[in-house]
Chain A
Amino acid sequence: MADSEKRKAYWRANLRLTLVLLVIWFSISYLCGIVFVEQLNAIRIGGYKLGFWFAQQGSMYGFIAIIFFYASRMAALDRKFDVNE
């Protein structure tokens, strides 16, 4: 693969990953914490109503997971396409 094609493929793989992660990011905060909060509040875990839990606890744990997953997947992509620093 020529260098420029390799870079294009790397960028496309990066965009795909980014898009998937942003969908998850949107779901755990805007969907679970805001839009569908009332429906989720019908479910309880301990003293927490589930929608309330997503808004004040769960979404933040999810954000951390997303970033570390992204960092590790990107490190793998960097190696695969040989574009390491």
Chain B
Amino acid sequence: MDLQTLTFIVVGLTFAMYIGIAFWARAGTTSEFYVAGGGVHPVANGMATAADWMSAASFISMAGLIAFFGYGGSVFLMGWTGGYVLLAVLLAPYLRKYGKFTVPEFIGDRYYSRLARIVAVICLIVASVTYVIGQMKGIGVAFSRFLEVRYEIGLVVGMGIVFFYAVMGGMKGITYTQIAQYCVLICAYTIPAIFISLNLTGTPIPQIGLGSMMVGTETYLLDRLDQVVTELGFNEYTTTSRLSTLNTFVYTLSLMIGTAGLPHVIIRFFTVPKVSDARVSAGWALIFITLLYTTAPAVAAMARLNLHETIQPAGQENLLYEERPDWFRKWETTGLLQFEDKNGDGRISYTADPATNEMIKVDKDIMVLANPEIASLPNWVIALVAAGGLAAALSTAAGLLLAIASAISHDLLKGVFRPNITEKQELTASRIAMAGAILLAGYLGFNPPDFAAGTVALAFGLAASSIFPALMMGVYSKRINKEGAIAGMIAGITVTLLYVFQHKGVMFIASTAYLGDMSPNWFLGIEPNAFGAVGAVINFAVAFAVSRVTQAPPERIQHLVEDIRVPAAAGSAQIH
């Protein structure tokens, strides 16, 4: 059976399973639609959170970035896992205790202000839509390869499927479907990694294989990789950071606090039965995430090594373009891989020097999908990877769209503008909001601001600079008042957005950038993707300053804060 037929079958079967589960568990009430009625076991919730969390950026894009950045790619590994510590320790138990549906609802109540709630909704929508653009890039890459069409057509097909899928389900459907999606995506990620690790190092565990010697030699894999890439003029794999140490530090911090400020992740902790479950649930989520995240560096290093050794086999002449393997041709049709025979010798030369490098385009986002083909693994493994990539992208897109939809229908419509609408109308409004978000994100996805992971990093920066500080101060300070919180959120997200827009273009349309996206224009050498941490510091500072010179929050709010700090139910602020 040829690869494309097999891929159709595997992807088709997994989709049939998701849709079946979504149908079986479909939401009947708004409570089920938003938080699955609050009745999900911590382990199940952890698994669903992991699927929700690990998006196209984690599955398709991240290992590709690590493959080309080496040590410099570590920001994604530490940044996207370390945030769970902040979430589990600083926020999740308290937000669960408070027991509402959405993040803006908490902010609106804690800061006793509808304006605060509206500002939070806007911040949430800006961050989430940016995040969905990143997903759309990943979905576009996956579908273009799988249907063997151009990226743009793949993107449109992907939008259609996300639309159909997310609009039907709601949180209850999504939670159970996401458990299935986690199983698909983790198998799809680890099985090829195990095969490749066995081939190269003889160890089936990729995390150990990465630190082992190559089969039949006395050379460690990482040393061999360092040698291969430096001979071709690239930076050493295991030691080179991207940009400065300060940038690495700030980038990691942005991703961490962004993780703890992203509404679609926080909302997961509203779906567990108890406060103690919220703490443990974050740990389970992180275990399931780390399974993939500690495999990713192995996938990255081994894919990079295989890529170079396929094109430039040791001790032989470079690969003839006419004899290029099948995967090379397939990725050329997507437009994401391009070759130009600069020296006219008919052979492929891949080096760091732009003057002699003939691989003029190698989109980093193709590495994970191409990896099993480069390593010549059996066709069913390749089909499985396609299914896994789509599972990752779909599950996250669905979770994000749900967060956007609930912000618009629950917080804006029901909470502020039309308190009297029925549950049914609220559900209809949220489905319309989802459709709108898909169209907007899909449209912006035609010209994504960065690779899938880079775009997602921007979204984290926006969440880090706006929502995380407001939530944290809401729990840890009784003195921060509505004026402080509102001013802080506005200052944080505005500074971050302006910084991103001036380098990446207004709404990420590159031609509208008013300062070029290059390092001499960067503040202290911090790149736009990493700026969220600076925005967060500004948010904290503004909130403290403004709160000091304005009136303290009313007494009932101080009681409310005291109450959410303790798991036991007591006092007047009890909400359940």
- Contacts A55-B71, A83-B567 given; does A47 touch B210 at CB 8 Å: yes
B32 on the A face (CB < 8 A): no
Do B84 and A78 touch across chains, with their CB atoms under 8 A apart? Answer: no
* Total cross-chain contacts (CB, 8 A): 138
How many residues of B are counted as interface, with CB atoms below 8 angstroms from the partner's CB atoms?
51
Query: Hey, which chain B residues are within 8 Å of A85, CB to CB?
Result: 274-276, 567-569
Which of these, B82, B223, B279, contacts A47 with CB under 8 Å? B223
How far is A46 from B223 in the complex, measured between Cα atoms in Å?
A: 11
Do B220 and A47 touch across chains, with their CB atoms under 8 A apart? Answer: yes
Query: Hey, which chain B residues are within 8 Å of A46, CB to CB?
Result: 211-212, 220
Query: Hey, which chain A residues are within 8 Å of B93, CB to CB?
Result: 74
In the complex, per-residue mask of B123-156: 1 if CB is within 8 Å of any chain A CB, else 0: 0000000000000000000000000000000000
Which of these, B89, B211, B223, B567, contacts A78 with CB under 8 Å? B567
- Contacts A47-B223, A49-B239, A52-B71 given; does A67 touch B249 at CB 8 Å: no
Rounded to whole Å, the gap between the CB of A69 and the closest CB of chain B is 9
B222 on the A face (CB < 8 A): yes
Do A47 and B562 touch across chains, with their CB atoms under 8 A apart? Answer: no
Query: Hey, which chain B residues are within 8 Å of A35, CB to CB?
Result: 245, 249
Do B294 and A57 touch across chains, with their CB atoms under 8 A apart? Answer: yes
Majority secondary structure, A binding face: helix
A22 on the B face (CB < 8 A): yes
How far is A70 from B213 in the complex, measured between Cα atoms in Å?
A: 37
How many residues of A are counted as interface, with CB atoms below 8 angstroms from the partner's CB atoms?
44
Query: Hey, which chain B residues are within 8 Å of A7, CB to CB?
Result: 562, 565-566
Residues 44-74 of A contacting B (Cβ, < 8 Å): 45-49, 52-53, 55-57, 59-61, 63-64, 66-68, 70-71, 74
Query: Hey, which chain B residues are within 8 Å of A78, CB to CB?
Result: 276, 567
Rounded to whole Å, the gap between the CB of B414 and the closest CB of chain A is 28
Do B293 and A60 touch across chains, with their CB atoms under 8 A apart? Answer: yes
Query: Hey, which chain B residues are within 8 Å of A49, CB to CB?
Result: 222, 238-239
B435 on the A face (CB < 8 A): no
How far is A33 from B239 in the complex, measured between Cα atoms in Å?
A: 11
Do B286 and A29 touch across chains, with their CB atoms under 8 A apart? Answer: no
B280 on the A face (CB < 8 A): yes
Do B222 and A64 touch across chains, with their CB atoms under 8 A apart? Answer: no
Q: What are the 8 tightest A-B residue pairs by CB atom distance, in nearest-first order?
A: A47-B220, A55-B74, A67-B283, A46-B211, A71-B279, A56-B297, A48-B211, A47-B211
